[in-house]
Amino acid sequence: MELDAEPAAATTGVVRVEKVRGRSAVTRCFAKYPLKIIVPSKVGHASSGAAWLYALTYGGGIVSGDRISCTVSVGDGCTAAMTTQASTKVYKAVGLKCSEQVLEATVGKDALLAAIPDPVTCFSTARYYQKQVFHVSGDSNLVLVDWFTSGRYESGEKWDFNSYKSVNHILSEEHQPLFIDSVLLEQGSNCSIAERMQEYNVVAMVVLLGPKLKQIQDKMQDEVKNMMSVQLRPPTSGGGRYATRPQPLHPQRPPLIASCSPFGRTGTGMVAQVVAVSTESVYSFLRHHLAALEPFLGAAPYSAS
C-alpha cells in the first residue's frame, strides 16, 4: 500500500482501492491534518474480500474553519466500505467561519462503495457545509447514508447551530446527474430551526443504487410502506360496534417517519428519507434495513458489536 505520495495542497485525503490477488485492497492511502484514515487489516469475515476505511478527525471533531477534502477511487469489481468510529462533531463557530467536508468518489464497473458514517452533530452556533459527489458507471453499486442530529440534545442543546448544509450528487459516466439532493437548515429571524423541527432530533437519508442492491431496495420499500401505513392510518369514525374512542385534536406524531422513492430512468436507485425523535431509533432502522449488506462487506453496517 502506497502511503506517502502527497497530492495537491488543498486535498487532505486520497484513497484508492484495487483488486490484489482477487481481493479488494487499499493500494494508496494519504491523509493529513485534520483528517486521519485508518485501514484495518480485517473487519468481519474475510470471505467477503471487502476493504474497510475509517475516516477520523484529530480531536474527535471538526474545528471552525477546518476544511476536509477527500477523494476515493474504488476500482472495477472492488468492494469498499467507508465509515467512522463515532458521530462527527462540529464545534462552535468562530465568527462567520464555516467547517467544511468535501468527498469525491469514483465507483468502477461492478464495484460497490458503501458510505456509511455515523451522524454529524453540530454544536451550538456551529456552521457546517458538506458536499459529496459520486461518479458511477452503468453497473456500479452505491450505498450512501447521510444523516445529522439536532446537536447535544440530551444535554438540552437542540437545533442550536447557526447553519447546516449537505449536498449530494450522483453522476453517470457521461457526467449526467442521476441524483441530486440538498439539505439546508438556517436559523431564521421569524422561525428558529427548533420551532420548525418540533420534537424530532434526527434527519437521515439512505440511497441505494445498482443491480447488486435491487433486492435490498425492494424489501426496504415494502417494509417502510407497511410500517407507515400502520402508523399514519387515520382513526376509524362513526358509531356502532367498532367505534373508536374520541381522538385528540392534536394526535401524537410517530417517533420515526420514513418514506421511499425510486429514481433513475429504469428505477435502479432508491432514496429513503427518515426523521426521528431519537438517534438510537435511526441506528435500529439502519441496522435492520442494511443487514443484508453483510455478505458484500463482511460485517453488517451499524452492528451493535
Backbone angles phi, psi at 52, to 5 degrees: -115, 140
- Quote the distance between the C-alpha of residue 58 and its chain's center: 21
**What is the enclosing helix (H) or strand (E) of 182?**
strand 177-186
- Residue 63 has what pLDDT? 95
How many whole angstroms separate alpha carbon 240 and alpha carbon 114? 53
Cell, residue 4? 506517502
- Residue 243 has what pLDDT? 46
How many whole angstroms separate alpha carbon 66 and alpha carbon 46? 36
- Residue 242 has what pLDDT? 41
3-class secondary-structure state, position 271: strand
How many whole angstroms separate alpha carbon 305 and alpha carbon 296? 18
How many whole angstroms separate alpha carbon 170 and alpha carbon 180? 7
- Residue 59 has what pLDDT? 83
CB-based contacts of 192, cutoff 8 Å, min separation 6 = 159
Cell, residue 87? 458521530
pLDDT one digit per residue (tens) for the chain, 305 residues: 555 455 555 899 999 999 999 999 999 999 999 999 999 987 877 678 899 999 999 888 999 999 999 999 999 999 999 999 999 999 999 999 999 999 999 999 999 999 999 999 999 999 999 999 999 998 999 999 999 999 999 888 999 999 999 999 999 999 999 999 999 999 987 899 999 999 999 999 999 999 999 999 999 999 999 999 888 766 555 444 444 455 555 567 899 999 999 998 787 999 999 999 999 999 999 999 999 999 999 999 999 64
Distances (CA, A) of 282 to 115, 176, 214, 274, 301: 16, 32, 22, 8, 12
* Residue 69 neighbours by CB distance under 10 Å: 18
Strand stretches in 50-162, DSSP E: 51-57, 61-62, 67-74, 79-83, 88-90, 99-107, 112-115, 120-122, 127-136, 141-149
- Residue 236 has what pLDDT? 55
If you ran DSSP here, which 8-state letter would residue 236 be given?
Answer: P
